[in-house]
Every structure is written in C-alpha cells, then in structure tokens.
C-alpha cells in the first residue's frame, strides 16, 4: 500500500525511532500524541530537531482541521534524559485509557537500552521503556533505519572509497548502538576488505565530555582509518578534541552517526573528505526531490536552521500515521479502531522528504535505502554538508524476511554466510542525464555566482523570503549547473561591495558571472536612480544604499565574457534599458557564447514587487527556480525569461523585465545555463 507523492502533496500530509499507535472512538476530542526524545543534555542536538519535525507535520495536519478534518492533534512531551521510570509515568495512559486516545511517536528505542556490558547482551537487550508503556509490540512502528544498516553501509562506503585501508581503530559509545555498529561494520569488512585488521577499540560512556584518553589510545595504534558511531553533542566534543591533538592529519575518518546531528552543530573546522553514513538515510543536502525541497524550505522558514534526520523521520512518520487513519476511514467509515490503523500501516510504502520507506508487516520496522557521502565545506553553508552521495538498496544490507534468527542479529549471520568480497551493489544518487548531452563545459568557460539575500533589516521593514530564496538559488546553481557560488545573507553595504570586488578579481575573459539579489530596493524619482538596500540601510539616509550606477560601474570592469544580474527587488527595472533583448531561439549556443553579454533580469519594472506568492519563495524566485529546474540541456536566458514572465504575471501584480544593462558594454550575446 503505497502512500503516493500525490497523496503526500495534496494532504500536505509526510518520529524518529518508534511510533506507538493507540486510537480512540471519540471523534471530536484532540488526539493526544506522546513525543519522547531528548530535550536536555548533549543528546538534545538530536532531540530538538525531531520535536520540530513532529511539530511541523502536526501544524500542517491541524491547519486542515486535524485528522479526518475534524480531530486536532495535541503533543505531549517527555524528556528521554529523565530516564525510563519518569518517561513511563509521563506517557503511559491510566488503566481506563488503555483503549483510549494516545498515539506515542517517540525517540530512538535503542537509546533506552541499558543492559549488561557484554557486546552480545547489549545488541539484544530488551527495550524496557516501550515495553512498559505498551506491553504489546503490535502497537509499535519504527521508522528509523536499523543500527545494523549503519555499520554495514559504513563498511561498504569504506571499501568503495579506501579499499587499501589495513589498520582500523574504533571509537564507539559504550551501549547497544555502538556495539551494533561495531559488530556489523566488522563482519562486513571481513568480507569486503579481508586484509584489514582492528588495531584499537575505545568505548567512551554516553554523555562523555572528555575524550583525551580515547584519542591518545587511538593515535598510539597508528591506524589508517578511524571509525566512529559517537553522535550528538558527544561527537562535536570528540572531533574537536581529536582535531586539537592532530589525529586527523594522520588518519582517515568514517562516521556512522555523526552527520545525524543538527547540521549547524558541526563547524567548518570538521575534517573534509571524511565518509559520512547518514542515519535515517536522510541529510537535507543529499536530495533535490520536490518533497525534500518543500520540507527543507518550510522547516528553514520557521526555525532558520536546516533539518536533520530526526526531524525528517518524525515528519514522515506523523504523516504516515495520518495516511493510515484516512485509508482506514475510507474502508470502514467513522473513526478507525486500532486494528484498522495497524492494518493500513503494515506493508505501507510512505513517501517522505528522504524518499520512500517500506514498513514490513512482520516486524513493523521501516526500511529505506542507505545513503553515504563525503564531507565537504561549501561557501553557502556555515557548516559541512555531504557530497558524492551514493545509495545502497536496503534489501542488500539486511537479512531477508524468513532468515533464521542469529547471534547477535539475523543480518549479522546473513552477511557472514552470504556476502562475498564484491559486497552489495552501490548506486550513485544523481539526476537522469538529458537525451542530448550539452557541449563540453570547457567551451563555455567557468561559471561563478554571487548570491545575496537580505531580509532581517535593522531599520527597515523585514522581509519574509529573500534568505530562503537565495539559499535555494545557490543550491540549484551549484548542484545542477556546476557554479562556484558565494552566498551572502543579511549583508551590509561594505560586505556587498567587498564581495563584488572579490568576485571580479577572480574572473577570466572566458568566465560567466551571475549576480542574484533579493531584498529591499528603492527608487529616487528626482534622479530616476534605483538602489539596492543592504541590511544596514536607513530610510532617510543614502549613506549605506548601493546605487544601480555603482553596480553598473562594477559590471563594466569584469573580464568575464558574460554577466547576468537577476534582481528580485522593488524598482529593479531602473537597471534595464527601454528596449528588450530580442529572441534568440534559433541561434547556435556556441555562437552566442562568443559574444560579450551584460544583461539583467528583474522581478518588476519601476514598481513595488512582492516577496511572497510562491509558497516559501517570492513569486519571482519560484519562477526562476522552476525554469532552471526544468532545463536539461543548454538554455539561453531569453528562452527562460519567456516562461518565467508568464508565470509571474499569472500570480502577481508585477511585470518582470529582461534587457541589456545600461552603459555596460553589451555586445549582443546572451547568458547560457548549461546543465551538467
């Protein structure tokens, strides 16, 4: 039973770990949903985003009247850091409500496992928290990927990227997650790289703040590779102490959990080129799907940060529950009982921002293809993201249904008995290539972009969408068109001018430069001069305004062959001439590329324009993003603009313009977007 993309978008309907389903016959009372995760302590860097993802899904459902359009959702929070007993008291319904109205999406069940210290007992330790809240596992559905997948997929990524690694050191948290990752990494590596050996094991306590002994022990073993499943705030402390000790200058790094933390918690000082396996198979930078783009935009618009895997899994699980309730209602009418909802969840394939997830009927576990990438710093983010993303089908990483139970897990014995040195098949995550590939990029020169989004003005009315617009444009240019992008958000006049100067110094005579600006604009009618307004602009003083004349002067100087300015601001039409660029649909792209171009596309003429109207984007930014996303080959801006103009005119009271820039030495060329 597949929860389709149409259902997901139409209903705006998409927690990490587990969702315990309890429904009620009452149809008007709020549905109380217990949310258990870490709200305090080092693990809060995982728990808080999970809570935000759940809240976002709840807000979307409640905005439509609640479940079935008539029953709102009420969230009951419990802090996992308080311990098992406190969580049981907080979330377990009283006896008279056992058949009542609580549904409990919670945190990762594995974090409550506190059994004996042996590796085997930790890997199989029961889950007392969920068992004590609801004794029957029939009501438990888990949407996060298995810990065995983290270990096995990390081994696959290491074997693919560094097949010559021989000496491996491990640093894992001393509880079931760390033990499971170690076990499944080790059994997979024994198959994939049989000559590799473990030279060191270190098992810090969960919640540790000092890792100097672990780092010293690891460095003393002189490993080729360090593998770690330390996560959350613990990992931030670990990598910075290891960095200070110089560990990463001597060894490679592979992480199985680290990049599940809130993205901004990891600094740009994090080692680049490390392998990052993504828990929950989700990192916001790894997918360009419409569902993920919409989710990231909404999340960022509300909290001014990017979601992690916990936020995505919570969001997806809540909407999957909504879908199950709606389907059960369509089959049986009225408010569905527990068994009807369970039947719909079992075997469901739910669409979410991170892709589809399949719920196995026999164990209520969610399965999603595993992804891994390489850590990279990019100019548009103040933290590292993942690049060179690859995916391994989940069925190649987990024991199939019916495989005999094994020690420590069925997947462990399945890998040990069935894998060969070739391992599972790996797939590169990428867009489908166009039918006709563009000419080699070298014929068109290198592409550079300066993207500016100003919205949190100090002395002027704040705007709503420029920063989200700018980040989306920067992402798309880099990923789909191989631009080298510099992103500025909430920039002062000095910062904007310095960035313009820096960009033009780096250009050659064959390069292409795109300048994108979203923010306030102003028209001084006496002089007919337009201005871009930096974040430090004041209404009654031009001291910090940036005039169109300044911009035009800057654009005369660059050695770049083609320069395009895209301005989404009021009165931006003052940059253009009175005549438009003529249509060039029949011209050959390479011929166009040889002619100097200085052109500007604006969101309106000499008029105010809207910074909303395109969902989480301005109507103009949405049209620009849509036009570039649909291109699969080479597109001149004249062609793109024809489509964009109609889209804007239909959705806003403003008229976009495209022309050559006044007095900027335009010679009849056009800016070309070459899809990679």
pTM recorded for the entire structure:
0.57
Statement to judge: residues 361 and 375 lie in one domain:
no
Question: 561 near 445, Cβ under 8 Å?
Answer: yes
Cα–Cα dist 268/283, whole Å: 17
By residue range, what is the domain housing residue 310?
2-144+286-366
Cα–Cα dist 52/89, whole Å: 23
Sequence-distant (6+) residues with CB within 8 A of 635 are 627, 628, 672, 673, 675
Which tokens go with 23? 């429904």
Q: What is the DSSP secondary-structure string of 463-479?
A: PSSHHHHHHHHHHHHHH
Statement to judge: residues 114 and 243 lie in one domain:
no
Question: 30 near 98, Cβ under 8 Å?
Answer: no
For residue 436, being part of any structural domain is answered with no
The CATH number that applies at residue 54 is 3.40.50.2300
How confident is the model at residue 667, as a pLDDT? 57
How confident is the model at residue 166, as a pLDDT? 96
| Beta pairing class for 370-376 and 366-367 | unpaired
Query: Of 407, 428, 449, at which residue does a domain stop?
Result: 428
**Which parts of the chain have pLDDT scores under 50?**
1-27, 94-134, 425-442, 573-590, 592, 664
For residue 435, being part of any structural domain is answered with no
Statement to judge: residues 277 and 376 lie in one domain:
yes
Statement to judge: residues 462 and 583 lie in one domain:
yes
Number of domains in the chain: 3
Q: What are phi and psi of 614, to 5 degrees?
A: -120, 40
For residue 433, being part of any structural domain is answered with no
Q: What are phi and psi of 427, to 5 degrees?
A: -125, 135
Statement to judge: residues 408 and 456 lie in one domain:
no
How confident is the model at residue 2, as a pLDDT? 46
Statement to judge: residues 290 and 246 lie in one domain:
no
Q: What are phi and psi of 527, to 5 degrees?
A: -100, -5
For residue 614, being part of any structural domain is answered with yes
pLDDT per residue over 115-172, tens digit each? Answer: 222 232 233 333 444 444 445 578 888 888 788 999 999 999 999 999 999 999 999 9
Query: Of 348, 366, 384, at which residue does a domain stop?
Result: 366
For residue 26, being part of any structural domain is answered with yes
For residue 554, being part of any structural domain is answered with yes
Q: Helix, strand or coil for residue 175?
A: coil
For residue 556, being part of any structural domain is answered with yes
Statement to judge: residues 84 and 215 lie in one domain:
no
How confident is the model at residue 577, as a pLDDT? 38
pLDDT per residue over 240-258, tens digit each? Answer: 999 999 999 989 999 998 8
| Cα torsion through 273, 174, 314, 343, rounded to 10 | 120
| Residues shown for the chain | 676
Statement to judge: residues 85 and 32 lie in one domain:
yes
For residue 434, being part of any structural domain is answered with no
Statement to judge: residues 308 and 262 lie in one domain:
no
Q: What is the DSSP secondary-structure string of 366-403?
A: EE--EEEEEEE--TT-SS-EEEEEEEE-GGGTSPPTTP
Which tokens go with 482? 């191989």
The CATH number that applies at residue 551 is 3.40.50.1460
How confident is the model at residue 207, as a pLDDT? 84
Cα–Cα dist 195/376, whole Å: 29
Q: Helix, strand or coil for residue 268?
A: coil
Instruction: Tell which residue, 185, 190, 157, has the closest CA to residue 170.
Output: 185
Statement to judge: residues 634 and 494 lie in one domain:
yes
Statement to judge: residues 451 and 571 lie in one domain:
yes
Statement to judge: residues 267 and 295 lie in one domain:
no
Please write down the long-range contacts of 431-440, taking CB distance under 8 Å and 24 or more positions apart: 431/288, 431/480, 434/632, 434/633, 434/675, 435/632, 436/633, 437/633, 438/633, 438/634, 438/674, 438/675, 439/589, 439/590, 439/634, 439/674
Which tokens go with 551? 């911009």
């Amino acid at each position: 039973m597949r929860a389709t993309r149409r259902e997901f978008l139409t209903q705006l309907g998409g927690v990490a770990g587990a969702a315990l389903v309890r429904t009620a016959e009452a149809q008007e009372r709020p549905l109380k949903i217990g949310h258990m995760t870490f709200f305090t302590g080092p693990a809060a860097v995982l728990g808080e985003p999970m809570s935000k993802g759940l809240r976002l899904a709840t807000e979307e459902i409640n905005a439509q009247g609640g479940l079935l359009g008539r029953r709102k959702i009420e969230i009951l929070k419990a802090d996992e850091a308080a311990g098992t007993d406190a969580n049981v008291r907080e979330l377990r319904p009283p006896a008279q409500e056992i058949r009542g109205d609580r549904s409990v999406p919670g945190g990762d069940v594995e974090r409550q496992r506190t059994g004996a210290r042996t590796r085997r007992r930790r890997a199989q330790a029961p889950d007392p928290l969920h068992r004590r809240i609801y004794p029957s596992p029939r009501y438990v559905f888990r949407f996060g990927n298995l810990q065995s997948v983290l270990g096995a997929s990390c081994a696959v990524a290491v074997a693919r990227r560094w097949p010559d690694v021989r000496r491996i050191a491990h640093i894992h948290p001393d509880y079931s997650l760390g033990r499971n990752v170690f076990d499944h990494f080790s059994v997979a590596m024994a198959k994939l790289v049989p000559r590799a050996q473990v030279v060191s094991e270190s098992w810090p306590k969960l919640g540790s703040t000092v890792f100097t002994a672990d780092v010293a022990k690891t460095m003393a073993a002189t490993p080729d590779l360090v593998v770690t499943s330390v996560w959350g705030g613990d990992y931030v402390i670990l990598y910075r102490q290891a960095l200070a000790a110089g560990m990463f200058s001597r060894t490679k790094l592979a992480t199985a959990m680290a990049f599940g933390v809130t993205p901004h918690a990891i600094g740009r000082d994090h080692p680049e080129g490390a392998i990052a396996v993504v828990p929950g198979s989700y990192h916001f930078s790894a997918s360009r799907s419409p569902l993920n783009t919409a989710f990231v935009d909404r999340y960022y618009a509300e909290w001014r940060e990017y979601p992690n895997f916990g936020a995505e899994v919570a969001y997806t699980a809540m909407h999957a529950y909504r879908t199950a309730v709606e389907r059960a209602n369509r089959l049986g009418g009225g408010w569905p009982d527990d068994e009807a909802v369970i039947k719909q969840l079992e075997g469901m394939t739910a669409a979410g921002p991170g892709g589809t997830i399949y719920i196995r009927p026999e164990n209520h576990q969610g399965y999603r293809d595993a992804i891994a990438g390489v850590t990279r710093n990019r100019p548009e983010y103040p933290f590292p993201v993942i690049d060179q993303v690859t995916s391994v089908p989940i069925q190649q990483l987990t024991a199939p249904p019916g495989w005999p139970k094994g020690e420590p897990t069925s997947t462990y014995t399945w890998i040990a008995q069935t894998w060969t040195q070739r391992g599972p098949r790996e797939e590169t995550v990428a867009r489908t290539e166009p039918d006709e590939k563009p000419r080699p990029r070298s014929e068109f020169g290198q592409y550079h972009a300066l993207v500016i989004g100003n919205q949190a003005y100090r002395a002027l009315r704040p705007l709503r969408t420029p920063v989200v617009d700018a980040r989306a444009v920067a992402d798309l240019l880099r990923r789909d068109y191989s631009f080298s992008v510099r992103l500025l958000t909430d920039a002062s006049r000095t910062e904007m001018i310095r960035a313009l100067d820096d960009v033009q110094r780096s250009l050659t005579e064959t390069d292409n430069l795109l300048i994108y600006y979203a923010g306030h604009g102003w028209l001084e009618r006496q002089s007919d001069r337009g201005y871009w307004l930096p974040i430090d602009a004041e209404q009654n003083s031009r001291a910090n305004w940036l005039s169109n004349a300044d911009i035009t002067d800057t654009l005369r100087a660059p050695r770049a062959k083609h320069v395009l300015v895209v301005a989404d601001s009021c009165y931006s039409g003052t940059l253009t001439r009175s005549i438009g660029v003529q249509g060039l649909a029949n011209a050959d792209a390479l011929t166009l590329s040889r002619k100097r171009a200085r052109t500007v596309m604006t969101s309106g003429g000499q008029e105010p324009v809207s910074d909303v109207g395109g969902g989480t984007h301005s109507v103009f930014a949405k049209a620009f993003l849509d036009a570039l996303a649909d291109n699969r080959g080479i597109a001149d801006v004249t062609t793109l603009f024809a489509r964009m103009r109609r889209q804007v005119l239909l959705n806003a009271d403003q008229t976009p313009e495209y022309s050559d820039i006044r007095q900027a030495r335009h010679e009849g060329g056009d800016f070309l977007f070459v899809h990679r």
